[in-house]
Amino acid sequence: MGCLTGVFGIVLPRFALLVGWYNDPNYWNNLLSSQLWLAVGWLFLPWTTLIYGFTAPNGMTFINWIFVGCAVLLDLGTWGIGAFAARKQTSNYRGT
Question: Quick one: which of 19, 74, 66, 24 has its CA closest to 44?
Answer: 74
Sorted by where each begins, the domain ranges of the chain are 2-86
Q: What is the pLDDT of residue 96?
A: 58
Q: What is the pLDDT of residue 65?
A: 94
In three state form, how does the secondary structure of the chain look?
A: CHHHHHHHHHHHHHHHHHHHHHHCHHHHHHHHCCHHHHHHHHHHCHHHHHHHHHHHHHCCCHHHHHHHHHHHHHHHHHHHHHHHHHCCCCCCCCCC
Rounded to two decimals, the pTM is 0.74
pLDDT (tens, 9 = 90+) of the chain, 96 residues, equals: 667 777 777 888 899 999 998 999 899 888 888 888 888 888 898 999 999 999 998 889 999 999 999 999 988 887 776 556 666 666 666 665
Q: What is the pLDDT of residue 86?
A: 60
